[in-house]
């Protein structure tokens, strides 16, 4: 599967076409380690050395290693999505179709697509690029990945219900950009905020 999606070129403000795809391979994971991780670590070091560095200012995902998930590529209940532009990986996401249920009272206990990991290339993250004294390259990559999760939920018969544990630095994005409902903090998951889409919120988000 390869579907055209629109992202924003931040250098020009223009909308450009990228590709959403689900044929993720170990080579994509390796690309994140070779091309993404050095920038994330460099930004983390700068932030840690600055007076601003405290808690949320340091990227919580600096230590992520997608290559450790190679074995999961063959599991039917786990799905990976990526977004490429000009042959370069701009974002990647892992979703799970089993093992989680909704916690929001109006849909408690119903099946949900759980976004286990979502990462945008560091050159598209304002916090990281500002630490390095640079501008971000592309916008709306994370939004397109969340849309893919919603459509995956619809395909699975879950009516768009999607949930995730938000990193502290991403809470504003999920609450204000995606308009997901914050349900509460999960003491069993580093006190991360659990957020959900209802079917109505999901439909509003994708605009169908």
Element (H, E) at 194: strand 192-197
Residues 74/77/83/88 CA torsion (nearest 10 deg): -20
Q: What is the span of the domain harbouring residue 118?
A: 2-206
Number of structural domains, the chain? 1
Task: Please report the pLDDT score of residue 55 as a whole number.
Answer: 52
Judge contact between 33 and 164, C-beta under 8 A. Answer: no
Distance CA 84, CA 28 (A): 10
Question: For 112-169, what is each residue's pLDDT tens digit?
Answer: 999 999 999 999 999 899 989 999 999 999 999 999 999 999 999 999 999 999 998 8
Percent of residues, the chain, with pLDDT higher than 90: 86
| Residue 117 φ then ψ, to 5° | -140, 140
Distance CA 208, CA 203 (A): 6
Handedness of CA 59, 62, 206, 180 (dihedral sign): negative
The CATH number assigned to the domain holding 117 equals: 3.40.630.30
The pTM assigned to this predicted structure is: 0.94
pLDDT in tens, 79-108: 999 999 999 999 999 999 999 999 999 999
- Lookup: tokens for 206: 């994708």
**Residue 63 has what pLDDT?**
76
DSSP helix, strand, coil percent of the chain (3-state; round to 5): 40, 30, 30
């Amino acid at each position: 599967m390869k579907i055209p999606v629109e992202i924003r070129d931040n250098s020009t403000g223009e909308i450009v076409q990228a590709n959403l795809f689900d044929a993720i391979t170990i080579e994509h994971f390796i690309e994140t380690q070779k091309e993404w991780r050095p920038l994330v670590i460099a930004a983390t070091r700068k932030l840690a050395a600055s007076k601003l560095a405290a808690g949320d200012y340091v990227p919580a995902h600096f230590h992520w290693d997608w290559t450790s998930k190679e074995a999961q590529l063959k599991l039917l209940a786990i799905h990976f999505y990526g977004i490429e532009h000009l042959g370069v990986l701009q974002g990647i996401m892992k979703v799970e179709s089993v093992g989680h249920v909704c916690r929001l009272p109006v849909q408690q206990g119903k099946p949900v697509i759980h976004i286990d990991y979502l990462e945008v290339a560091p050159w598209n993250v304002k916090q990281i690029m500002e630490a390095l004294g640079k501008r971000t390259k592309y916008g709306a990559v994370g939004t397109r990945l969340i849309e893919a999760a919603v459509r995956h939920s619809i395909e699975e018969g879950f009516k768009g219900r999607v949930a995730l544990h938000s990193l502290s630095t991403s809470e504003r994005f999920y609450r204000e950009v995606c308009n997901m409902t914050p349900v509460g903090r999960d003491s069993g998951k580093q006190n991360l905020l659990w957020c959900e889409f209802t079917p109505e919120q999901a439909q509003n988000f994708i605009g169908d």
